[in-house]
Structure 1
Amino acid sequence: MTLITVQEQHLSGSTLEEKFEQALAWGFDGIELRSAGDLQFQARLPELRRAHQVGVVMPTACVDMTHFVGAFDAELRKDAVAQLKSQLSVMAEIGGRGVMTPASYGMFSKRLPPFVPPRTDEEDTAVLVEAFTALGEHASSEGVEIYLEPLNRYEDHMVNRLADGVRLLKLVGLDSVKLAPDTYHMNIEESDPAAALQAAAPFIGHVQASDSNRLEPGAGNIDWALFGATLKSIGYQGTVALESRLSGPASDVLPRVPALLGRYL
């Protein structure tokens, strides 16, 4: 069964229990958490434990940090790995599946000046293999997974297409390291999104959904019937999390999303 979840910032309520009630009322199956750095996610453990104990479904967390494992600065990379290890341990404690992260976000784009990054492609790969090997080993020891999200060419210069992610994961060689395709980024980078999903099928562990304009599914021009049919064709049984901006008030636009996605998944 594919779970359709919504990120917690879109839900109202003072507790995760209240947010979960709203998510269910809108037709979602659970909540995708946002995992902040500086050990803020770990500091939420009492809240997360309580929510887990009463049945709040929180299968995944989306990293919410200012720097990432592909940072140019070695100390920032080291901190990003440490933060993600902590977040993976938190997810293991509350019965989650894993944490997703890009290689970097907003750090450099080969499509914008100065066009040439300070590391070579080979150096980028070595940095990412080192980081995701460490994260994958920790995830495996905790019984969870780490998900790599390819971003579009304007937000990251290292991992843009699903095939880029597959090449990296093959170098890492750990089953606990998987891909998290995002339909918005795929709409920019993949000439054939369905074929890209099928080619990457063995490596996919989590999926994020937003439309072609980064708004909620149904507010743009992505072919959701094809998306759903493709996930069915590869036997995908993971989570699909709404990660998007909204075209209107959450209470107006979000209840439409589970019905739309559920029609095809």
Structure 2
Amino acid sequence: MKIGTQNQAFFPEDIKEKFRYLQEAGFDGFEIDGKLLVDHLDEVKEAMAETGVPVTTACGGYNGWIGDFIEERRENGLAEMRQILEALQQVGGKGIVVPAAWGMFTYRLPPMQSPRSQAGDRKAVTKSLLYLDKAAEETGTTIFLEPLNRYQDHMINTLADARSYIEENQLKNVKIIADFYHMNIEEDEISEALHENRDLIGHIHLADNHRYQPGSGSIDFKKHFDRLKQDGYEGFLTIECRVRGNDPEAEYKRALAFLKESLR
């Protein structure tokens, strides 16, 4: 297993300098914003060639969710996701991370009455995934379907929820991304859920129980990494977290060292 990262505020803004920074810091890959990749594709290619740091996946960079309440916005989002998949194909990226939605609605906070039925939710998400499954096949990429916690999304909250869409629709190019932070809220036990869905887990996001940097909270990363090893997971572990502390850059590098030690 290798460790990747999303962008952080203290990373250099210049793309080539950003990739040099990742190389020097010891990251194995970069999960890039999809719009940044599409808009600066040639520069990203040059940065990858110079540093050897690969673009592993894309996350974000599109406007519209696969389960969006607004049909026009859902369709626009899908078109942008396809563009991102085409750009990923050019740089050898694995695929794109997509939740059903983020921050659109939750049953856990007012008004607690969704503007669409659960059957309507499932119809919209299914329609989107069928489209993206085909787009991923055509570009040689993968859709990483991400369950979010109940306070951020109302449609797909557990790995089992994501699995049901894949199995019911016989999706060949859709896998599950397991996010430790969301799993800490939604799953009965992280290692058990990882094991039960080992055949469909294709990507992993890392943050501690409070969404801050790994090693600063209560999640037993070594235990879960050992489970992944036993189950033969060979994909990326990508840090997706906020950072707190007097020196965020130093704290982030400390988190990377903590994760590498936990992998031993």
Please state which band the TM-score falls in when normalised by the shorter chain: over 0.9
Alignment partner for residue 254 of structure 2, among 253, 256, 261?
Answer: 256
Q: Distance in 2 between matches of 1:34 and 1:247?
A: 22
- Looking at both structures, which has the greater relative contact order when contacts are Cα pairs under 8 Å and sequence separation is at least 6? 1
Give the aligned length: 261
Report if aligned partners of 1:17, 1:56 keep a CA contact under 8 Å in 2.
no
Partner of 2:166: 169
Answer yes or no: is 1:223 the counterpart of 2:223: no
Amino acid at match of 1:222: I
Partner of 1:203: 200
Which ranges of structure 1 fall in alignment gaps of 5 or more residues?
none
Partner of 1:52: 48
What do residues 183-241 of structure 1 show as CA deviations (whole Å, max 9, x unaligned)?
Answer: 11001101111111111111111100000111010111111111211211211111111
Q: Distance in 1 between matches of 2:46 and 2:248?
A: 26
**How do residues 83-122 of structure 1 correspond to structure 2 at under 5 angstroms?**
83-122=80-119
SS in 2 for 1:59: strand
Report if aligned partners of 1:145, 1:176 keep a CA contact under 8 Å in 2.
yes
Q: Percent identity?
A: 36
Amino acid at match of 1:8: N
Which ranges of structure 2 fall in alignment gaps of 5 or more residues?
none
Amino acid at match of 2:14: T
Q: Distance in 1 between matches of 2:248 and 2:137?
A: 36
SS in 2 for 1:202: coil
Q: Distance in 2 between matches of 1:10 and 1:197?
A: 30
Report if aligned partners of 2:106, 2:112 keep a CA contact under 8 Å in 1.
yes
SS in 2 for 1:174: coil
Q: Distance in 1 between matches of 2:248 and 2:89?
A: 30
Q: Distance in 2 between matches of 1:53 and 1:22?
A: 14
Q: Which segments of structure 1 move beyond 4 Å, counting only runs of 4 or more?
A: none
Shift of 1:149: 0.8
Report if aligned partners of 1:228, 1:261 keep a CA contact under 8 Å in 2.
no
Partner of 2:120: 123
Structure 1 range deviating more: 67-76 or 168-177:
168-177
Shift of 1:73: 0.7
Partner of 2:5: 6
Report if aligned partners of 2:159, 2:197 keep a CA contact under 8 Å in 1.
yes
Q: Distance in 2 between matches of 1:64 and 1:230?
A: 32
Report if aligned partners of 2:62, 2:80 keep a CA contact under 8 Å in 1.
no
Partner of 1:157: 154
> Could you say what the CA RMSD is over the residues aligned between the two structures, in angstroms?
1.6
